[in-house]
Structure formats: structure tokens, C-alpha cells
């Protein structure tokens, strides 16, 4: 059934091959959250392999991989334009350029994987080489030029509900990168022989079994702490409008009181989203006292901007406790390039941000606040970086993710961001509580199971009981070494198999 389309794609040359790769990459984007049309990968991956088989050289294969990546990332990241439109008067010229430029850059990583795969013998060695090279390329784009590991293919399995819960459990051992490797190998099975198809079916069955077994393990007892997630639903254009600051602050206070009434008399904590406080909480003692009065002294985690000793702004999370005191501060360390700062590796300065933007914090850390289990904080963008969210020397008991996705409207962006946060809970074996300004606010247990959510563009509170952590996962202990070794072994095996066949 597949021989004819495979031969047709392999015979394409020049622009026709490029356009075919572009179309296949765009098709593959439908597998990503929130669509989760996973079967499209059974078309796009075999199609890409056919184009690689037809390439005359590794450079030609890399070119076809680049076009595949361009189509894939343009559709997967279209929502970036939403953020630019908020300041269209200044950056209108970026509207037609930003997404294609970002997609073209990320496509280089797929191009590199495809060029390496072309060095392997066609068939299962090339499939294995492509899978391994793809994972190594994904790991590279987590670090190169500050990193942007958005939409790894392992995230396609984060289907809402029980089905997704089952499929994401192996991330506790191999992370989302390992799921990406398994996904690509399974998607390529249709072009291999019956023996490999049986092997793929076996892998799929084992995958499901592992997920079911892990989900049915007896969970640890709950912590006894109620978490009040506050979703203020403040439009991006209003967040820093000083004429609206008092009204915004009053709304957060009222929502906090409302949520605590719902929580009852049990110990509780209130969480506000990223930059929720429309001022400088660091120096505003009256505001901190107002928070303390509204929450009756319950610890409140507030997203806010602060200025450090060098008068540089920092995107921070404050822990306000009884008496209006600040019991802990976390500064975001993985900043968004061009959104929060201008990278210093640019050959020429780009005056998008006077003063260079925000200063970064020291890195992942665990905060110990009176009355709360120790927690790790993730501010917005930081949630997309597997293996880089927890202080390994001081493991927290839960994760707090505060974000402001209002920049991206009611698009796929906030939903893809939520999927990334969910995966971090599974990888680390830690419950994750997420407060988002315009949504989606949600709570996940240490297996990544959703225990509550507030949808997009809703104003309200979500009250949940804080689940307990699981024992430290294998990935939590070994980190990115695991998927890195798996990718290197897959790539090396594919390349060596081709050389052995050639020498034989």
C-alpha cells in the first residue's frame, strides 16, 4: 500500500520535493496539543523518510528536513504573532516576519537530524538514526541561543483525560525527549517490514501497560493543605494601566477572600499569577498589609516585578505571610529573549528594550515558607524546560507555576504551555499547581493527572487539595543524561548498521 506513494515522494526533485516536505511538516503540526491528531504522524513521518531516501546527498536531505521543519513550526507557533499585535504600533513590521523567522531557525535542528539520518542505510537503520538525531537536536534546541524547546513530539500524547494520563507516565524515566524518540520510531513502523511492525505493536502495548501500572500504584496520603488558585483574567492591555491598578488589586483581594471561604477551615495557601500585582509589592507595605487582611494571614504567593540593588527589574514571585512580611522571593532565571531581555550574543544591539530588559535570577531553587511544604517556583516560560526546573540538592515537595498567557489570546499557545507544565509534573514526580492570568489555571498530581482547571478567559478561583509528591523519579535523579544517551545510542546504532552492511 505504501510502496507507490513512497516511490513517488522519493522521485521528487528540487522545488517539488521542498514543497512536499513543507506540506508534510505542516500536517505533522496537527498532532500537537491541543488538536492531538496523532495518526497524521503515520503519514508525515513515512513521507519524510521517503524524501530522505530520495535525497542524493546528506545536504539535500538536510534541505528537505529544513522545509519540513519550516512547515511544522509555522503552524505550531502561529500564536506568537498574537503577542506582537499588542504593540503593533511599534512592531508592526515584525508581524509578517516573526513566526517565519522563528520557524526557520528551529527548522535548522530538524535539518541537522535529517542530514545525519541520510548517512544511515535505508530501512530500519535510517529510522533509528533519524529518531536518535531528532532527540539530540531537541536537546540542543533546549540550550542553543538560550533555548526554545517548545512543542517536542513527546507532547502529542498529552491528550486530556485518562488516555493522556496513561501515555505520559514513561516520562518519569525518560522525559518528554524519550517519548519523542518512541513516537518517531512508532510513526515510522508502517514503512518497515512485518517483523518491525510486530515489534512496534509490542512496544505500544508495553507502553500502555507501564502507564496503567504506574497510575494504579497506591498514592501517598494528601498533604492536608488547600490551594487557592486565583485567575484575575486581566486583559494584557490593562495589566499595567495605572488608572486601573486599584481596581485590579481590589479584584484579586476579593477573589482571594472568595476562594478561602470555599477552602473552609483547613490550612491553605493562595496563589496569584505572574505579575498579578500592578505595582511594586517590594516597597508597598500598605498593599502587603491589605493582602494579609484579605487572606487572614494565609501565605499568599504573588507574581510581581521588583527592582534589585542595581535598579534592574526582575520578574519575581513573593511569598507574603502573616503581618504582611515577605517570607521568600524567587526571581525568574530563564528569561524570554526579545520579550524580557535582549540577548548579549547578538552581533549588533537591537534597541527593543531600553536598559536591556529584565535581570535574571540565579536558577532553580526551593523556597521554604512557614506553614507550607517546600516548593519550587516556575515563572511562565520556565515550565517548558525539562530537567531544568528543580534544585537537585534541595528537592521540593510541589511545584508552583505562575504565568501570564494573556499575550497570546485564546489561541493554541496557552494550551501548549499548559501541556508543557503537565509534563514537568510527571518527569519530576511532583504535583504542580498553576495560576494563569487569563487561563488556563490548573492543578496536576505527581502523575500528571488533572485534578481541576479554570478555562480560558474566565474570572474566578480554583480550590484544590494539594497532593503529595511521589518518590524521586529516575529522570529526576539522572536528568537529561538519560534521553541524551538514548538518542546517541539510537543514532550510533543506525549509522553503524549502515557501515556494517556496506563493508559486508
Catalytic center residues: 274, 332, 380
In this structure, what are the phi and psi dihedrals at residue 303, rounded to the nearest 5 degrees?
A: -75, 130
245-263 vs 285-295: helix crossing angle, rounded to 10:
30
Which residue stretches of 350-473 are H helix? 412-428
Q: What angle do CA 108, 114, 120 make, to 5 degrees?
A: 150
Length of the chain: 504
Provide the grid cell at 329.
522571593
Give the helix, strand, coil percentages of the chain, each rounded to 5. Answer: 50, 15, 35
Furthest C-alpha separation in the chain: 80
Select from 278, 235, 272 the least CA-distant residue to 255: 272
Residue 101 contacts residue 91 (beta carbons within 8 Å) = no
Q: Are strands 432-436 and 441-444 parallel, antiparallel or unpaired?
A: antiparallel
- Which string of DSSP letters, residue by residue, matches 363-388? S--EE--TTS--EEEEEGGGGG-TTS
Cα separation, 28 vs 428, whole angstroms: 28
Amino acid at each position: 500500500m505504501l510502496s507507490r506513494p513512497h516511490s513517488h515522494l522519493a522521485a521528487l526533485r528540487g522545488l517539488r520535493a521542498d514543497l512536499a516536505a513543507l506540506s508534510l511538516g505542516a500536517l505533522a503540526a496537527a498532532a500537537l496539543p491541543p488538536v492531538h491528531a496523532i495518526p497524521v504522524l503515520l503519514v508525515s513521518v513515512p513521507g519524510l523518510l521517503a524524501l530522505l531516501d530520495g535525497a542524493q546527498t546528506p545536504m539535500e536531505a538536510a534541505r528537505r528536513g529544513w522545509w519540513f521543519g519550516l512547515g511544522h513550526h509555522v503552524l505550531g507557533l502561529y500564536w506568537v504573532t498574537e503577542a506582537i499585535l499588542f504593540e503593533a504600533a511599534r512592531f508592526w513590521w515584525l508581524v509578517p516576519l516573526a513566526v517565519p523567522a522563528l520557524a526557520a531557525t528551529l527548522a535548522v535542528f530538524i535539518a541537522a537530524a535529517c542530514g545525519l539520518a541520510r548517512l544511515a542505510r535505508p530501512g530500519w537503520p535510517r529510522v533509528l538514526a533519524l529518531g536518535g538525531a531528532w532527540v539530540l537536536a531537541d536537546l540542543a534546541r533546549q540550550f542553543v541561543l538560550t533555548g526554545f524547546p517548545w512543542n517536542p513530539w513527546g507532547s502529542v500524547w498529552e491528550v486530556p483525560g485518562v488516555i493522556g494520563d496513561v501515555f505520559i507516565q514513561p516520562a518519569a524515566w525518560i522525559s518528554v525527549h524519550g517519548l519523542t524518540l518512541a513516537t518517531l520510531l512508532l510513526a515510522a513502523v508502517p514503512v518497515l517490514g512485518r517483523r518491525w511492525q510486530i515489534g512496534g505493536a509490542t512496544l505500544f502495548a508495553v507502553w500502555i501497560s507501564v502507564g496503567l501500572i504506574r497510575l494504579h500504584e497506591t498514592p501517598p496520603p494528601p498533604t492536608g493543605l488547600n490551594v487557592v488558585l486565583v485567575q484575575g483574567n486581566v486583559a494584557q492591555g490593562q495589566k499595567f494601566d495605572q488608572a486601573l491598578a486599584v481596581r485590579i488589586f481590589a479584584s484579586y483581594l476579593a477573589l482571594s477572600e472568595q476562594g478561602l471561604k470555599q477552602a473552609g477551615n483547613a490550612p491553605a495557601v493562595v496563589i496569584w499569577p505572574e505579575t498579578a500585582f500592578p505595582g511594586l509589592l517590594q516597597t508597598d507595605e500598605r498593599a502587603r498589609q491589605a493582602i494579609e487582611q484579605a487572606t487572614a494571614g494565609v501565605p499568599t504567593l504573588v507574581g510581581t516585578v521588583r527592582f534589585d540593588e542595581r535598579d534592574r527589574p526582575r520578574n519575581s514571585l513573593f511569598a507574603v505571610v502573616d503581618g504582611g512580611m515577605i517570607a521568600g522571593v524567587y526571581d525568574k532565571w530563564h528569561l524570554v529573549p526579545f520579550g524580557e531581555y535582549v540577548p548579549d550574543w547578538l552581533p549588533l544591539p537591537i534597541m527593543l528594550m531600553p536598559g536591556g530588559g529584565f535581570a535574571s535570577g540565579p536558577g532553580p531553587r526551593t523556597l521554604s515558607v512557614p506553614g507550607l511544604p517546600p516548593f519550587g517556583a516556575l515563572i511562565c516560560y520556565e515550565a517548558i524546560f525539562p530537567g531544568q526546573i528543580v534544585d537537585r540538592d534541595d528537592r521540593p515537595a510541589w511545584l508552583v507555576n505562575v504565568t501570564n498567557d494573556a499575550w497570546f489570546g485564546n489561541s493554541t499557545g496557552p494550551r501548549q504551555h499548559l501541556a508543557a507544565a503537565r509534563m514537568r509534573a510527571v518527569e519530576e514526580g511532583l504535583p504542580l499547581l498553576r495560576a494563569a492570568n487569563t487561563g488556563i489555571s490548573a492543578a496536576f498530581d505527581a502523575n500528571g493527572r488533572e485534578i481541576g482547571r479554570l478555562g480560558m478567559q474566565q474570572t474566578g478561583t480554583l480550590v484544590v487539595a494539594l497532593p503529595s509528591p511521589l518518590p524521586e523519579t529516575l529522570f529526576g535523579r539522572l536528568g537529561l543524561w538519560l534521553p541524551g544517551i538514548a538518542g546517541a545510542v539510537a543514532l550510533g546504532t543506525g549509522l553503524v548498521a549502515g557501515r556494517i552492511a556496506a563493508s559486508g
